[in-house]
A and B are shown apart, each in its own frame.
Chain A
Amino acid sequence: MTRYIFQRLLQAIPLLFIISLILFILMMNMGDPVATMGGRQATRPADRIRLTRQLGLDQPGWKQYLFWLIGNDWTKVDMDGDGTRESPGTRRGVLRGDFGTSLVKRGVPVTSVIWERLPNTLILMIASEVIIILGALLIGVYSALRQYSLMDNTITAFSFIGYSMPIFFVALLSMYIFGVLFKRWGLPYLPTVGMFDPKVGKTVGQVALHMVLPVLSISLISFAAYSRYIRSTMLEVMSQDYVRTAKSKGLPRREVVYVHALKNAALPLVTIIGLDLPLLLGGAVVTERIFAWPGMGRLFLDHVSRSDMPVVMGILMMISVAVVVFQLITDVAYAWLDPRIRYE
């Protein structure tokens, strides 16, 4: 097993290298970050040249990538923007944990820009994932035990709708129903945008209240895939010999279903959760935009629109690393949970 993990980690290195290369090439045409630096006024041509040189944007692409990857403290760079390279560089490069500094928020390291927003996305993501798993287990087991019943067929139809639903449509509908219509009808209504009411402040209750609609929207569209999956694994497990044995020795049905069958049926779920968790980071882009949630997705959109290459690159690399790492954790966890699986 140790050997397997080691092998996988070795394979991850060229993979992440290729990813960073693809992304960096795509970044080369992101637009001019210097153009928006003067605020509302257009940047003066002289300043523009100086800034471009100071930020190292006048260098050829391969050199920018090299500096991004391994830093530039081994060579001389142009710090005052006069066209001559005189002072030693200060960047240490991604390989030594330095993602550079944001171009929009001058001088702030990329890592702290991201760390500031990451918790907001994480609470949204984890809350959604927990609700999705609990809900999907409930729906999946229920419809597997009553296969082809009216309820099962209805659930099947609804899962297709949920599966085809664009997140913004669910989000807008739920905002309209629970935020607008409920208010109009004089019912207690839910807040639709932001993370907390500025008048009340960032309290636990406020954040929880503001989380309801985003979490509901994310869960509604994800229930479908998860519950279908549990339904099919549950159906498979229920027809196995050991379940029949458990039934025939007179165990209560509840125990057979929830202790004997569900344990094995829920096992493959580990795989989907592991692959989906990092993707939820990405799925949050649209959700966070609609609900004005100050998370990573919105950070990404804001900085893309202002061509802040280091931050955009940092977010993308972080997510790619998360995807690769979670794939490995998933495989290892699955083998640990299910001793029938052996990796060579």
Chain B
Amino acid sequence: METTAAEPPKPATGVVHLTPDELETPPLTLRQLAWRRFKRHKMAMFGAVMIVILFLYAFGGALVISESYANQTDTKLRLQPPSASHPFGTDTVGRDVLARTIYGGQISLMIGLFAVLIEVSSGVLIGAFAGYYRGKVDALLMRFTEAMINIPEIFLLIVMAKFFGNKLPDVNILGRTLSGSVVIIILIIGLTSWMYLARIVRAEFLSYREREFVLAARAIGTSNREIIFRHILPNSIAPIVVAATLGVASAILAEAYISFLGLGVQPPTATWGNMLDGANNYLESAPWLWFFPGLLILLTVLSINFLGDGLRDALDPRSRAA
């Protein structure tokens, strides 16, 4: 590089002259192309920045405010409106709402991420097996998927929450003691949301399994497992990433819905959802109880949707055709 910069090549007459810069610029990799498309998407950039801020709020805020403070009750201070010492006010038992939105945010974001992990692994496995093996496996798995899709998610969530109950003991995650219901909520959200992803992955596998590179792999004796996970799956990563991103938003919403109904994460562990449980009884007298957690949920879901939309344009431009 430095040698060419020191000694510029002499232009040959009659030949189109390229500046050293143009000669040096390597073709953009797929990743760089995607990044360029993503950067152009203003709303997606906004979403990405907002998500970083929200994560800083939930996890950075924990460095400033301790968890015991977030769970500390003081009935003398119940239902205080926002003030200098309690910027978001206090709740029905005198806990600081700001502190609880910070610790609740950690749980809500964590539930979103882990639930999607379950969603993606079950969706990919079921979709991949159905699409790759076809025949009986496909018929069986797809009937099951179809049956699950036909039951509206909120009902499935409520029934599953009842099914698993809240019988798990408290668990320790990241040095915090959490109500066992967190694990259950992650599990049921993951188990009620994989169906659309499974369908996407199945469609991808159905088309890729007929391609030459799969035939070639099979011809040299590659095992089915290798073909599925090493050859086909990396090709269908784009729609999976997009679906997973948008899945985090729906998982956070699902947690909020189910906790709002009082069937989600049990107090004292706070989540943005269960902070809203019972808040409509204080609609008139304490609007700060529901306004701040609700706003945070909205901001998070909105930013993730922006991000997912940008990722779709960047990674999977064809899917935009419709």
Q: Chain A interface (Cβ within 8 Å of chain B)?
A: 14-15, 18-19, 22-23, 26-31, 157, 160-161, 163-166, 168-169, 172-173, 175-176, 179-180, 192, 232, 278-279, 281-283, 285-286, 289-290, 300-301, 304, 307, 312, 315-316, 319-320, 323-324
Contact = CB atoms under 8 A, between A and B. Distances in A.
B157 to A, nearest CB: 10
Among B155, B163, B287, B297, find the residue whose CB has the most chain A CB atoms closer than 10 A: B155
A15 B149 CA distance: 11
Closest 8 CB pairs of A and B: A282-B152, A169-B294, A164-B302, A164-B301, A18-B147, A19-B147, A29-B163, A323-B150
Interface of B: 43, 143-144, 146-148, 150-155, 158-160, 162-165, 249, 253, 256-257, 260-261, 276, 279-280, 283-284, 287, 290-291, 294-295, 297-298, 301-302, 305-306, 309, 322
Given A164-B301, A168-B256, A169-B298, A286 B162 contact: no
A141 B287 CA distance: 37
A289 B261 contact: yes
Given A169-B294, A172-B276, A180-B283, 8 more contacts: A26-B160, A29-B164, A29-B165, A166-B294, A168-B276, A172-B279, A173-B294, A286-B261
Contacts of B298: 161, 164-166, 169
A312 B159 contact: yes
Given A168-B276, A285-B261, A26 B159 contact: yes
B294 A26 contact: no
A23 B151 contact: yes
Contacts, number: 129
A164 B287 CA distance: 21
Contacts of B150: 15, 19, 320, 323-324
B151 A304 contact: no
Nearest to A319: B152
Among A30, A164, A285, find the residue whose CB has the most chain B CB atoms closer than 10 A: A164
19 contacts: A19-B147, A26-B162, A26-B163, A29-B163, A160-B43, A169-B295, A172-B280, A173-B291, A173-B294, A180-B283, A180-B284, A180-B287, A281-B152, A282-B153, A282-B155, A300-B158, A301-B158, A320-B150, A320-B151
Nearest to A175: B283
Given A164-B298, A286-B260, A31 B162 contact: yes
Contact of A286 (B154, B283, B305, B309): B154
A289 B146 CA distance: 28
Nearest to A25: B163
A301 B261 contact: yes
Contacts of B306: 160
Nearest to B167: A29
Contacts of A289: 261
B154 A285 contact: yes
Given A22-B147, A172-B280, A286-B261, A316 B155 contact: yes
Given A286-B260, A312-B159, A320-B151, A18 B144 contact: yes
Chain B binding site: helix, strand, loop or mixed by DSSP?
helix
Among A15, A169, A179, A283, find the residue whose CB has the most chain B CB atoms closer than 10 A: A169
A160 B147 CA distance: 30
Contacts of A281: 152
Contacts of B159: 23, 26-27, 30, 304, 312, 316
Contacts of B290: 168-169, 172
Given A161-B298, A169-B298, A290-B280, A30 B162 contact: yes
Contacts of A27: 159, 163
Contacts of A278: 152
Contacts of A300: 155, 158
A162 B284 CA distance: 24
B302 A168 contact: no
A176 B260 contact: no
B162 A166 contact: no
A169 B302 CA distance: 13
A157 B43 CA distance: 9
Contact of B287 (A168, A176, A232): A176
Nearest to A278: B152
A26 to B, nearest CB: 5
Contacts of A324: 150
A78 to B, nearest CB: 27
Given A166-B301, A316-B151, A14 B257 contact: no
B302 A161 contact: yes
B319 to A, nearest CB: 13
A29 B165 CA distance: 8
B163 A168 contact: no
Given A160-B305, A164-B249, A172-B294, A19 B257 contact: no
Given A26-B163, A161-B298, A168-B276, A18 B143 contact: yes
B256 A166 contact: yes
A149 B56 CA distance: 35
A28 B163 CA distance: 8
Contacts of B322: 232
A28 B162 CA distance: 10
A15 B146 contact: yes
Contacts of B295: 169
A315 B155 CA distance: 10
A318 to B, nearest CB: 11
Nearest to A292: B280
A74 to B, nearest CB: 28
Contacts of B153: 282
A261 to B, nearest CB: 18
